[in-house]
Structure 1
Protein backbone atom coordinates (compact mmCIF):
# COMPACT_ATOMS: atom_id res chain seq x y z
CA UNK A 1 0.00 0.00 0.00
CA UNK A 2 1.42 3.48 -0.88
CA UNK A 3 2.61 5.74 1.96
CA UNK A 4 -0.10 8.04 3.30
CA UNK A 5 0.57 11.80 3.13
CA UNK A 6 -2.70 13.46 4.13
CA UNK A 7 -1.37 16.99 4.71
CA UNK A 8 0.24 17.13 1.28
CA UNK A 9 -3.00 15.80 -0.22
CA UNK A 10 -4.98 18.48 1.62
CA UNK A 11 -2.75 21.22 0.18
CA UNK A 12 -3.18 19.80 -3.33
CA UNK A 13 -6.96 19.59 -2.93
CA UNK A 14 -7.15 23.20 -1.74
CA UNK A 15 -5.17 24.28 -4.80
CA UNK A 16 -7.43 22.18 -7.01
CA UNK A 17 -10.55 23.73 -5.45
CA UNK A 18 -9.32 27.29 -6.05
CA UNK A 19 -8.43 26.55 -9.67
CA UNK A 20 -11.63 24.68 -10.51
CA UNK A 21 -13.75 27.18 -8.60
CA UNK A 22 -12.33 29.94 -10.80
CA UNK A 23 -12.60 28.17 -14.16
CA UNK A 24 -16.05 26.69 -13.53
CA UNK A 25 -17.45 30.16 -12.89
CA UNK A 26 -16.88 30.92 -16.57
CA UNK A 27 -18.93 27.97 -17.82
CA UNK A 28 -21.88 30.38 -17.71
CA UNK A 29 -20.09 32.48 -20.35
CA UNK A 30 -19.37 29.44 -22.52
CA UNK A 31 -22.98 28.21 -22.23
CA UNK A 32 -24.44 31.44 -23.61
CA UNK A 33 -23.99 30.40 -27.25
CA UNK A 34 -22.27 27.00 -27.31
CA UNK A 35 -23.08 23.44 -26.23
CA UNK A 36 -21.81 20.98 -23.66
CA UNK A 37 -20.62 18.47 -26.26
CA UNK A 38 -18.64 21.03 -28.27
CA UNK A 39 -17.19 22.32 -25.01
CA UNK A 40 -16.03 18.86 -23.91
CA UNK A 41 -14.48 18.04 -27.29
CA UNK A 42 -12.77 21.41 -27.70
CA UNK A 43 -11.47 21.43 -24.14
CA UNK A 44 -10.10 17.91 -24.53
CA UNK A 45 -8.23 18.82 -27.72
CA UNK A 46 -6.73 21.88 -26.04
CA UNK A 47 -5.85 20.00 -22.85
CA UNK A 48 -4.17 17.12 -24.69
CA UNK A 49 -2.17 19.54 -26.86
CA UNK A 50 -0.98 21.34 -23.72
CA UNK A 51 -0.17 18.02 -22.08
CA UNK A 52 1.70 16.86 -25.20
CA UNK A 53 3.82 20.04 -25.14
CA UNK A 54 4.57 19.56 -21.45
CA UNK A 55 5.72 15.94 -21.80
CA UNK A 56 9.20 16.63 -23.29
CA UNK A 57 9.65 19.88 -21.36
CA UNK A 58 8.89 18.42 -17.93
CA UNK A 59 9.85 14.80 -18.57
CA UNK A 60 6.33 13.53 -17.93
CA UNK A 61 5.33 9.88 -18.33
CA UNK A 62 2.10 9.11 -20.19
CA UNK A 63 2.54 5.36 -20.70
CA UNK A 64 0.13 3.50 -18.43
CA UNK A 65 1.42 0.82 -16.05
CA UNK A 66 -2.00 -0.88 -16.12
CA UNK A 67 -3.94 0.34 -19.19
CA UNK A 68 -7.11 -1.56 -18.24
CA UNK A 69 -7.24 0.06 -14.81
CA UNK A 70 -6.65 3.52 -16.30
CA UNK A 71 -9.38 2.97 -18.90
CA UNK A 72 -11.84 1.68 -16.30
CA UNK A 73 -11.20 4.61 -13.98
CA UNK A 74 -11.50 7.10 -16.85
CA UNK A 75 -14.81 5.61 -17.98
CA UNK A 76 -16.22 5.71 -14.44
CA UNK A 77 -15.23 9.34 -13.84
CA UNK A 78 -16.31 10.34 -17.34
CA UNK A 79 -19.76 8.77 -16.85
CA UNK A 80 -20.10 10.54 -13.51
CA UNK A 81 -19.49 13.91 -15.17
CA UNK A 82 -21.77 13.04 -18.09
CA UNK A 83 -24.68 12.19 -15.76
CA UNK A 84 -23.96 15.26 -13.64
CA UNK A 85 -24.07 17.70 -16.57
CA UNK A 86 -26.99 15.84 -18.15
CA UNK A 87 -29.06 16.13 -14.98
CA UNK A 88 -28.54 19.90 -15.04
CA UNK A 89 -30.80 19.99 -18.11
CA UNK A 90 -33.94 19.13 -16.15
CA UNK A 91 -33.16 19.45 -12.43
CA UNK A 92 -32.32 22.45 -10.26
CA UNK A 93 -28.61 23.02 -9.75
CA UNK A 94 -29.03 22.65 -5.96
CA UNK A 95 -30.44 19.13 -6.27
CA UNK A 96 -27.76 18.08 -8.77
CA UNK A 97 -24.91 19.43 -6.66
CA UNK A 98 -26.31 17.89 -3.47
CA UNK A 99 -26.48 14.52 -5.22
CA UNK A 100 -22.88 14.71 -6.46
CA UNK A 101 -21.60 15.63 -3.02
CA UNK A 102 -22.93 12.39 -1.57
CA UNK A 103 -19.66 11.00 -2.95
CA UNK A 104 -17.78 10.94 0.40
CA UNK A 105 -20.52 8.72 1.86
CA UNK A 106 -20.12 6.27 -1.01
CA UNK A 107 -16.32 6.44 -0.65
CA UNK A 108 -16.62 5.24 2.95
CA UNK A 109 -19.07 2.48 2.01
CA UNK A 110 -16.94 1.25 -0.91
CA UNK A 111 -13.73 1.44 1.14
CA UNK A 112 -15.32 -0.51 3.99
CA UNK A 113 -17.30 -3.20 2.18
CA UNK A 114 -15.26 -3.64 -1.02
CA UNK A 115 -11.74 -3.22 0.38
CA UNK A 116 -12.17 -3.93 4.10
CA UNK A 117 -10.84 -0.59 5.34
CA UNK A 118 -11.93 0.30 8.87
CA UNK A 119 -14.11 3.38 9.30
CA UNK A 120 -13.35 5.34 12.46
CA UNK A 121 -15.85 7.57 14.30
CA UNK A 122 -13.90 10.74 13.45
CA UNK A 123 -14.19 10.10 9.74
CA UNK A 124 -17.89 9.27 10.01
CA UNK A 125 -18.47 12.51 11.92
CA UNK A 126 -16.44 14.47 9.35
CA UNK A 127 -18.52 13.11 6.48
CA UNK A 128 -21.74 13.94 8.34
CA UNK A 129 -20.59 17.49 9.14
CA UNK A 130 -19.40 18.06 5.60
CA UNK A 131 -22.63 16.84 4.04
CA UNK A 132 -24.76 18.96 6.37
CA UNK A 133 -22.56 21.88 5.40
CA UNK A 134 -23.18 21.17 1.72
CA UNK A 135 -26.95 21.17 2.28
CA UNK A 136 -26.75 24.49 4.15
CA UNK A 137 -24.64 26.04 1.37
CA UNK A 138 -27.03 24.86 -1.33
CA UNK A 139 -30.13 25.88 0.60
CA UNK A 140 -33.38 24.14 1.59
CA UNK A 141 -34.32 23.61 -2.07
CA UNK A 142 -31.59 20.97 -2.29
CA UNK A 143 -33.75 18.63 -0.22
CA UNK A 144 -36.97 19.25 -2.17
CA UNK A 145 -38.17 17.79 -5.44
CA UNK A 146 -37.25 14.21 -4.68
CA UNK A 147 -38.12 11.94 -7.61
CA UNK A 148 -36.71 9.13 -9.69
CA UNK A 149 -34.97 11.72 -11.86
CA UNK A 150 -33.43 13.27 -8.75
CA UNK A 151 -31.63 9.98 -8.13
CA UNK A 152 -29.44 10.58 -11.20
CA UNK A 153 -27.12 13.02 -9.38
CA UNK A 154 -26.81 10.48 -6.56
CA UNK A 155 -25.75 7.91 -9.18
CA UNK A 156 -23.19 10.46 -10.41
CA UNK A 157 -21.96 10.81 -6.82
CA UNK A 158 -21.62 7.03 -6.48
CA UNK A 159 -19.67 6.78 -9.75
CA UNK A 160 -17.48 9.73 -8.78
CA UNK A 161 -16.77 8.03 -5.45
CA UNK A 162 -15.88 4.75 -7.17
CA UNK A 163 -13.53 6.59 -9.51
CA UNK A 164 -11.85 8.30 -6.57
CA UNK A 165 -11.39 4.99 -4.75
CA UNK A 166 -10.03 3.51 -7.97
CA UNK A 167 -7.39 6.25 -8.15
CA UNK A 168 -5.60 4.81 -5.12
CA UNK A 169 -6.73 1.19 -5.17
CA UNK A 170 -6.40 0.45 -8.92
CA UNK A 171 -3.88 3.05 -10.11
CA UNK A 172 -1.40 3.69 -7.27
CA UNK A 173 1.63 3.45 -9.59
CA UNK A 174 0.24 5.51 -12.46
CA UNK A 175 1.54 9.02 -12.99
CA UNK A 176 -0.94 11.85 -12.45
CA UNK A 177 -0.47 12.92 -16.06
CA UNK A 178 -1.48 9.46 -17.29
CA UNK A 179 -4.75 9.59 -15.36
CA UNK A 180 -5.38 13.18 -16.46
CA UNK A 181 -4.92 12.18 -20.10
CA UNK A 182 -7.34 9.27 -19.65
CA UNK A 183 -9.95 11.48 -18.01
CA UNK A 184 -9.85 14.18 -20.67
CA UNK A 185 -9.64 11.60 -23.45
CA UNK A 186 -12.88 9.92 -22.37
CA UNK A 187 -14.70 13.25 -22.04
CA UNK A 188 -13.48 14.15 -25.52
CA UNK A 189 -14.89 10.90 -26.88
CA UNK A 190 -18.21 11.62 -25.17
CA UNK A 191 -18.18 15.11 -26.67
CA UNK A 192 -17.52 13.79 -30.19
CA UNK A 193 -20.29 11.18 -29.84
CA UNK A 194 -22.74 13.82 -28.59
CA UNK A 195 -21.91 16.17 -31.47
CA UNK A 196 -22.28 13.30 -33.94
CA UNK A 197 -25.70 12.36 -32.64
CA UNK A 198 -26.89 15.97 -32.67
CA UNK A 199 -25.66 16.32 -36.25
CA UNK A 200 -27.63 13.25 -37.33
CA UNK A 201 -30.66 14.08 -35.18
CA UNK A 202 -30.58 17.85 -34.52
CA UNK A 203 -32.70 19.22 -31.69
CA UNK A 204 -34.11 22.69 -31.13
CA UNK A 205 -31.98 24.22 -28.38
CA UNK A 206 -33.37 27.12 -26.32
CA UNK A 207 -31.25 30.29 -26.41
CA UNK A 208 -28.67 30.96 -23.74
CA UNK A 209 -27.54 28.53 -21.02
CA UNK A 210 -30.86 26.63 -21.17
CA UNK A 211 -29.73 25.11 -24.49
CA UNK A 212 -26.32 24.00 -23.21
CA UNK A 213 -27.12 20.28 -23.28
CA UNK A 214 -29.15 20.24 -26.52
CA UNK A 215 -26.97 22.52 -28.66
CA UNK A 216 -24.90 20.94 -31.43
CA UNK A 217 -21.91 22.39 -33.28
CA UNK A 218 -21.76 26.20 -33.38
CA UNK A 219 -19.02 28.19 -35.12
CA UNK A 220 -16.65 28.99 -32.21
CA UNK A 221 -16.44 32.61 -31.13
CA UNK A 222 -13.48 34.38 -29.56
CA UNK A 223 -14.88 34.30 -26.01
CA UNK A 224 -15.71 30.59 -26.36
CA UNK A 225 -12.17 29.73 -27.46
CA UNK A 226 -10.61 31.99 -24.82
CA UNK A 227 -12.58 30.65 -21.87
CA UNK A 228 -12.46 27.07 -23.06
CA UNK A 229 -8.66 27.40 -23.21
CA UNK A 230 -8.67 28.80 -19.67
CA UNK A 231 -10.85 25.83 -18.68
CA UNK A 232 -8.48 23.39 -20.42
CA UNK A 233 -5.33 24.80 -18.80
CA UNK A 234 -6.92 25.23 -15.36
CA UNK A 235 -8.61 21.84 -15.40
CA UNK A 236 -5.43 20.15 -16.62
CA UNK A 237 -3.49 21.44 -13.64
CA UNK A 238 -6.37 21.22 -11.16
CA UNK A 239 -7.46 17.68 -12.03
CA UNK A 240 -3.81 16.62 -11.93
CA UNK A 241 -3.54 17.99 -8.39
CA UNK A 242 -6.75 16.23 -7.38
CA UNK A 243 -5.60 12.91 -8.81
CA UNK A 244 -2.22 13.18 -7.07
CA UNK A 245 -4.00 13.95 -3.78
CA UNK A 246 -6.05 10.74 -4.05
CA UNK A 247 -2.83 8.82 -4.65
CA UNK A 248 -1.19 10.31 -1.55
CA UNK A 249 -3.90 9.58 1.00
CA UNK A 250 -6.87 7.36 1.70
CA UNK A 251 -9.86 8.16 -0.52
CA UNK A 252 -12.15 8.57 2.51
CA UNK A 253 -9.98 11.38 3.84
CA UNK A 254 -9.45 13.06 0.48
CA UNK A 255 -13.15 13.02 -0.37
CA UNK A 256 -14.05 14.92 2.80
CA UNK A 257 -11.31 17.52 2.25
CA UNK A 258 -12.64 17.91 -1.31
CA UNK A 259 -15.76 19.54 0.16
CA UNK A 260 -13.65 22.73 0.17
CA UNK A 261 -14.50 23.18 -3.51
CA UNK A 262 -17.88 24.68 -2.53
CA UNK A 263 -16.43 27.53 -0.44
CA UNK A 264 -13.82 28.09 -3.16
CA UNK A 265 -16.50 28.33 -5.85
CA UNK A 266 -18.52 30.70 -3.66
CA UNK A 267 -15.46 32.88 -3.14
CA UNK A 268 -14.89 33.22 -6.87
CA UNK A 269 -18.60 33.87 -7.47
CA UNK A 270 -18.29 36.80 -5.07
CA UNK A 271 -14.94 38.02 -6.44
CA UNK A 272 -15.95 37.76 -10.12
CA UNK A 273 -19.68 38.47 -10.15
CA UNK A 274 -20.38 40.10 -6.78
CA UNK A 275 -22.71 37.26 -5.71
CA UNK A 276 -23.09 37.14 -1.92
CA UNK A 277 -23.99 34.17 0.27
CA UNK A 278 -26.81 33.98 2.78
CA UNK A 279 -25.84 33.60 6.46
CA UNK A 280 -27.01 29.97 6.40
CA UNK A 281 -24.62 29.24 3.54
CA UNK A 282 -21.76 30.83 5.48
CA UNK A 283 -22.58 28.55 8.40
CA UNK A 284 -22.49 25.59 6.02
CA UNK A 285 -19.02 26.58 4.88
CA UNK A 286 -17.84 26.66 8.48
CA UNK A 287 -19.00 23.05 8.84
CA UNK A 288 -17.27 22.10 5.57
CA UNK A 289 -13.98 23.62 6.72
CA UNK A 290 -14.38 21.92 10.11
CA UNK A 291 -14.88 18.54 8.41
CA UNK A 292 -11.74 18.90 6.34
CA UNK A 293 -9.76 20.21 9.31
CA UNK A 294 -10.75 17.20 11.43
CA UNK A 295 -9.28 14.87 8.83
CA UNK A 296 -6.10 16.90 8.36
CA UNK A 297 -5.47 17.44 12.09
CA UNK A 298 -5.88 13.72 12.82
CA UNK A 299 -3.16 13.06 10.28
CA UNK A 300 -0.92 15.73 11.79
CA UNK A 301 -0.96 14.14 15.23
CA UNK A 302 0.19 10.85 13.77
CA UNK A 303 -3.00 8.94 13.12
CA UNK A 304 -2.35 5.69 11.23
CA UNK A 305 -3.46 5.38 7.62
CA UNK A 306 -6.75 3.72 8.59
CA UNK A 307 -8.33 5.31 11.70
Structure 2
Protein backbone atom coordinates (compact mmCIF):
# COMPACT_ATOMS: atom_id res chain seq x y z
CA UNK A 1 0.00 0.00 0.00
CA UNK A 2 2.80 2.40 0.95
CA UNK A 3 4.73 1.48 -2.19
CA UNK A 4 1.69 2.15 -4.36
CA UNK A 5 1.20 5.53 -2.70
CA UNK A 6 4.83 6.47 -3.35
CA UNK A 7 4.54 5.42 -6.99
CA UNK A 8 1.36 7.47 -7.44
CA UNK A 9 2.96 10.51 -5.78
CA UNK A 10 6.05 10.25 -8.00
CA UNK A 11 3.89 9.86 -11.11
CA UNK A 12 1.78 12.91 -10.19
CA UNK A 13 4.89 14.97 -9.49
CA UNK A 14 6.42 13.94 -12.81
CA UNK A 15 3.20 14.82 -14.67
CA UNK A 16 2.99 18.29 -13.08
CA UNK A 17 6.65 19.21 -13.61
CA UNK A 18 7.72 17.34 -16.77
CA UNK A 19 4.70 17.63 -19.09
CA UNK A 20 3.18 20.72 -20.65
CA UNK A 21 -0.30 19.59 -19.69
CA UNK A 22 0.68 19.16 -16.05
CA UNK A 23 2.51 22.46 -15.99
CA UNK A 24 -0.48 24.28 -17.45
CA UNK A 25 -2.70 22.65 -14.84
CA UNK A 26 -0.39 23.78 -12.00
CA UNK A 27 -0.23 27.34 -13.35
CA UNK A 28 -4.02 27.43 -13.68
CA UNK A 29 -4.38 26.36 -10.04
CA UNK A 30 -2.00 29.15 -8.97
CA UNK A 31 -4.00 31.65 -10.99
CA UNK A 32 -7.26 30.39 -9.46
CA UNK A 33 -5.79 30.76 -5.98
CA UNK A 34 -4.78 34.41 -6.53
CA UNK A 35 -7.76 35.33 -8.72
CA UNK A 36 -7.52 38.48 -10.81
CA UNK A 37 -4.37 39.57 -9.01
CA UNK A 38 -2.23 37.20 -11.13
CA UNK A 39 -2.17 36.91 -14.91
CA UNK A 40 0.07 34.50 -16.82
CA UNK A 41 0.26 35.20 -20.56
CA UNK A 42 1.15 32.46 -23.09
CA UNK A 43 3.06 29.97 -20.91
CA UNK A 44 5.27 27.53 -22.82
CA UNK A 45 7.39 24.59 -21.75
CA UNK A 46 7.47 22.70 -18.46
CA UNK A 47 8.45 23.42 -14.88
CA UNK A 48 11.20 20.79 -15.08
CA UNK A 49 12.64 21.44 -18.51
CA UNK A 50 12.17 25.21 -18.61
CA UNK A 51 9.20 27.56 -18.55
CA UNK A 52 8.68 30.66 -20.66
CA UNK A 53 6.01 33.34 -20.28
CA UNK A 54 5.23 36.12 -22.71
CA UNK A 55 4.18 38.22 -19.71
CA UNK A 56 3.38 37.96 -16.01
CA UNK A 57 1.24 40.52 -14.21
CA UNK A 58 0.49 40.82 -10.50
CA UNK A 59 -1.48 43.57 -8.79
CA UNK A 60 -2.84 44.28 -5.32
CA UNK A 61 -3.77 47.38 -3.35
CA UNK A 62 -0.18 48.53 -2.92
CA UNK A 63 1.81 47.42 -5.94
CA UNK A 64 1.58 46.46 -9.60
CA UNK A 65 4.26 44.24 -11.15
CA UNK A 66 4.56 43.49 -14.87
CA UNK A 67 7.25 41.20 -16.27
CA UNK A 68 7.80 40.84 -20.02
CA UNK A 69 9.50 37.85 -21.66
CA UNK A 70 10.24 35.69 -18.64
CA UNK A 71 12.10 32.38 -18.70
CA UNK A 72 12.63 30.05 -15.75
CA UNK A 73 14.46 26.79 -15.29
CA UNK A 74 14.22 25.29 -11.82
CA UNK A 75 14.54 21.96 -10.04
CA UNK A 76 11.15 21.80 -8.33
CA UNK A 77 11.55 18.17 -7.27
CA UNK A 78 13.95 19.30 -4.55
CA UNK A 79 11.20 21.54 -3.14
CA UNK A 80 9.46 18.40 -1.90
CA UNK A 81 12.47 17.90 0.38
CA UNK A 82 12.57 21.53 1.52
CA UNK A 83 14.97 22.99 -1.06
CA UNK A 84 14.24 24.90 -4.26
CA UNK A 85 17.01 25.22 -6.85
CA UNK A 86 16.62 27.82 -9.61
CA UNK A 87 19.13 27.22 -12.39
CA UNK A 88 18.18 30.30 -14.40
CA UNK A 89 15.74 33.19 -14.20
CA UNK A 90 15.73 35.75 -17.01
CA UNK A 91 13.40 38.73 -17.44
CA UNK A 92 13.70 41.16 -20.34
CA UNK A 93 11.76 43.97 -18.65
CA UNK A 94 10.25 44.35 -15.18
CA UNK A 95 7.96 47.27 -14.25
CA UNK A 96 7.19 47.86 -10.57
CA UNK A 97 4.63 50.53 -9.64
CA UNK A 98 4.27 51.55 -6.00
CA UNK A 99 0.71 52.82 -5.83
CA UNK A 100 -0.37 56.08 -4.28
CA UNK A 101 -2.63 55.85 -1.25
CA UNK A 102 -1.52 52.36 -0.28
CA UNK A 103 -2.31 51.65 3.34
CA UNK A 104 0.72 51.58 5.63
CA UNK A 105 0.73 49.08 8.43
CA UNK A 106 2.23 50.26 11.69
CA UNK A 107 4.43 47.49 13.01
CA UNK A 108 7.77 47.15 14.69
CA UNK A 109 10.90 45.81 13.01
CA UNK A 110 10.79 42.08 12.24
CA UNK A 111 12.57 39.61 14.49
CA UNK A 112 12.97 36.96 11.80
CA UNK A 113 13.42 37.25 8.01
CA UNK A 114 14.11 33.62 7.14
CA UNK A 115 12.51 31.53 4.41
CA UNK A 116 10.46 28.43 5.18
CA UNK A 117 12.55 26.40 2.70
CA UNK A 118 16.06 26.59 1.30
CA UNK A 119 16.36 28.57 -1.93
CA UNK A 120 19.31 28.74 -4.27
CA UNK A 121 19.38 30.89 -7.41
CA UNK A 122 22.34 30.09 -9.62
CA UNK A 123 21.68 32.85 -12.16
CA UNK A 124 19.10 35.65 -12.19
CA UNK A 125 19.15 38.43 -14.76
CA UNK A 126 16.87 41.38 -15.49
CA UNK A 127 17.75 43.39 -18.59
CA UNK A 128 15.67 46.43 -17.60
CA UNK A 129 13.98 47.24 -14.29
CA UNK A 130 11.74 50.27 -13.77
CA UNK A 131 10.59 51.48 -10.33
CA UNK A 132 7.82 54.09 -10.32
CA UNK A 133 6.50 55.88 -7.24
CA UNK A 134 2.98 56.87 -8.25
CA UNK A 135 2.44 59.58 -5.60
CA UNK A 136 5.56 61.56 -6.53
CA UNK A 137 5.88 60.48 -10.15
CA UNK A 138 9.55 59.62 -9.51
CA UNK A 139 10.99 56.84 -11.66
CA UNK A 140 14.27 54.95 -11.44
CA UNK A 141 15.70 52.84 -14.27
CA UNK A 142 18.11 49.97 -13.63
CA UNK A 143 19.73 47.86 -16.35
CA UNK A 144 21.88 44.73 -16.55
CA UNK A 145 20.90 43.47 -13.10
CA UNK A 146 22.33 40.07 -12.19
CA UNK A 147 22.45 38.07 -8.98
CA UNK A 148 23.48 34.74 -7.48
CA UNK A 149 21.69 33.98 -4.22
CA UNK A 150 21.47 31.32 -1.50
CA UNK A 151 19.16 31.54 1.49
CA UNK A 152 16.88 29.77 3.87
CA UNK A 153 16.12 29.55 7.56
CA UNK A 154 19.48 30.82 8.89
CA UNK A 155 20.91 33.36 6.42
CA UNK A 156 20.62 35.14 3.08
CA UNK A 157 23.78 35.26 0.95
CA UNK A 158 24.54 37.17 -2.24
CA UNK A 159 27.67 35.70 -3.78
CA UNK A 160 27.27 37.93 -6.85
CA UNK A 161 25.19 41.03 -7.48
CA UNK A 162 25.49 43.89 -9.92
CA UNK A 163 23.50 46.53 -11.77
CA UNK A 164 23.82 49.76 -13.75
CA UNK A 165 21.91 52.93 -12.82
CA UNK A 166 21.81 56.53 -14.02
CA UNK A 167 24.44 57.24 -11.36
CA UNK A 168 26.92 54.48 -12.19
CA UNK A 169 27.55 50.76 -11.73
CA UNK A 170 27.13 48.91 -8.43
CA UNK A 171 28.40 45.47 -7.41
CA UNK A 172 27.99 43.72 -4.07
CA UNK A 173 28.47 40.47 -2.19
CA UNK A 174 27.75 39.46 1.38
CA UNK A 175 25.30 37.87 3.78
CA UNK A 176 22.85 38.69 6.56
CA UNK A 177 21.48 36.45 9.28
CA UNK A 178 17.75 35.86 9.57
CA UNK A 179 17.27 36.53 13.29
CA UNK A 180 17.64 39.75 15.29
CA UNK A 181 20.01 41.48 15.70
CA UNK A 182 20.78 40.29 12.12
CA UNK A 183 24.56 39.77 11.88
CA UNK A 184 25.81 40.90 8.48
CA UNK A 185 28.90 41.35 6.34
CA UNK A 186 28.76 43.11 2.96
CA UNK A 187 31.28 44.40 0.45
CA UNK A 188 29.98 47.02 -2.00
CA UNK A 189 31.74 48.53 -5.01
CA UNK A 190 30.68 51.60 -6.99
CA UNK A 191 32.13 52.78 -10.29
CA UNK A 192 31.01 55.91 -12.08
CA UNK A 193 31.35 54.16 -15.45
CA UNK A 194 30.75 57.34 -17.45
CA UNK A 195 27.51 58.32 -15.69
CA UNK A 196 26.55 61.99 -15.48
CA UNK A 197 26.75 63.35 -11.93
CA UNK A 198 25.80 66.85 -10.73
CA UNK A 199 28.63 69.29 -9.92
CA UNK A 200 31.29 66.82 -11.10
CA UNK A 201 33.46 67.04 -14.22
CA UNK A 202 32.16 64.78 -16.99
CA UNK A 203 35.45 62.89 -17.45
CA UNK A 204 36.32 62.45 -13.75
CA UNK A 205 36.83 58.77 -12.85
CA UNK A 206 35.32 57.80 -9.51
CA UNK A 207 35.44 54.50 -7.62
CA UNK A 208 34.10 53.78 -4.14
CA UNK A 209 34.27 50.73 -1.88
CA UNK A 210 32.16 50.28 1.26
CA UNK A 211 32.55 47.41 3.75
CA UNK A 212 29.98 46.67 6.44
CA UNK A 213 30.42 44.29 9.38
CA UNK A 214 28.45 43.78 12.57
CA UNK A 215 24.74 43.73 13.34
CA UNK A 216 21.85 46.14 12.93
CA UNK A 217 22.44 47.16 16.55
CA UNK A 218 26.13 48.02 16.06
CA UNK A 219 27.72 48.25 12.63
CA UNK A 220 31.33 48.95 11.65
CA UNK A 221 31.59 50.67 8.27
CA UNK A 222 34.64 51.57 6.21
CA UNK A 223 34.71 53.63 3.02
CA UNK A 224 37.43 54.33 0.49
CA UNK A 225 36.96 56.61 -2.52
CA UNK A 226 39.43 57.52 -5.28
CA UNK A 227 38.99 60.11 -8.03
CA UNK A 228 41.83 61.16 -10.32
CA UNK A 229 44.50 61.06 -7.60
CA UNK A 230 42.26 62.39 -4.85
CA UNK A 231 41.39 60.04 -1.99
CA UNK A 232 38.98 59.76 0.88
CA UNK A 233 39.16 57.18 3.68
CA UNK A 234 36.60 56.85 6.46
CA UNK A 235 35.81 54.45 9.27
CA UNK A 236 32.72 54.74 11.44
CA UNK A 237 30.67 52.91 14.03
CA UNK A 238 26.93 53.10 13.45
CA UNK A 239 23.88 52.20 15.51
CA UNK A 240 21.13 52.00 12.86
CA UNK A 241 18.35 51.43 15.38
CA UNK A 242 19.47 54.11 17.82
CA UNK A 243 18.41 57.74 17.94
CA UNK A 244 22.10 58.68 17.86
CA UNK A 245 22.99 56.52 14.85
CA UNK A 246 26.53 57.89 14.39
CA UNK A 247 28.64 56.58 17.27
CA UNK A 248 32.19 57.23 16.05
CA UNK A 249 33.90 58.66 12.97
CA UNK A 250 37.47 58.74 11.67
CA UNK A 251 37.82 60.50 8.32
CA UNK A 252 40.81 61.40 6.17
CA UNK A 253 40.89 63.16 2.78
CA UNK A 254 44.06 63.91 0.79
CA UNK A 255 45.10 65.97 -2.27
CA UNK A 256 41.62 67.33 -2.89
CA UNK A 257 41.81 69.67 -5.90
CA UNK A 258 38.47 71.38 -6.51
CA UNK A 259 39.32 72.02 -10.16
CA UNK A 260 39.57 68.28 -10.75
CA UNK A 261 35.96 68.07 -9.61
CA UNK A 262 34.73 71.04 -11.65
CA UNK A 263 36.74 72.97 -14.25
CA UNK A 264 35.33 76.37 -13.22
CA UNK A 265 36.46 75.94 -9.61
CA UNK A 266 39.93 77.07 -8.40
CA UNK A 267 42.99 74.86 -7.97
CA UNK A 268 43.41 73.69 -4.37
CA UNK A 269 45.36 71.20 -2.31
CA UNK A 270 43.03 70.35 0.54
CA UNK A 271 43.66 67.84 3.29
CA UNK A 272 41.07 67.03 5.91
CA UNK A 273 41.11 65.00 9.11
CA UNK A 274 38.08 64.49 11.34
CA UNK A 275 37.57 62.41 14.44
CA UNK A 276 34.44 62.22 16.54
CA UNK A 277 32.45 60.12 18.93
CA UNK A 278 29.00 60.18 20.52
CA UNK A 279 29.28 60.08 24.31
CA UNK A 280 25.76 61.41 24.82
CA UNK A 281 23.07 62.84 22.60
CA UNK A 282 25.53 64.76 20.43
CA UNK A 283 28.70 63.97 18.51
CA UNK A 284 31.93 65.80 19.30
CA UNK A 285 35.51 65.58 18.11
CA UNK A 286 38.16 67.41 16.09
CA UNK A 287 38.27 68.72 12.53
CA UNK A 288 41.47 69.83 10.78
CA UNK A 289 41.58 71.37 7.29
CA UNK A 290 44.76 72.35 5.46
CA UNK A 291 44.69 74.33 2.22
CA UNK A 292 47.26 75.31 -0.32
CA UNK A 293 47.53 76.15 -3.99
CA UNK A 294 48.16 73.09 -6.11
CA UNK A 295 51.44 73.23 -8.00
CA UNK A 296 51.12 73.23 -11.78
Name the TM-score, length of structure 1 as normaliser: 0.21
Structure showing the higher helix proportion among its residues: 1
Structure number with the bigger relative contact order (C-alpha 8 A, sep ≥ 6) is 1
Name the TM-score, length of structure 2 as normaliser: 0.22
Q: Please tell me whether Structure 1 or Structure 2 has the larger radius of gyration of its CA atoms.
A: 2
Structure showing the higher strand proportion among its residues: 2
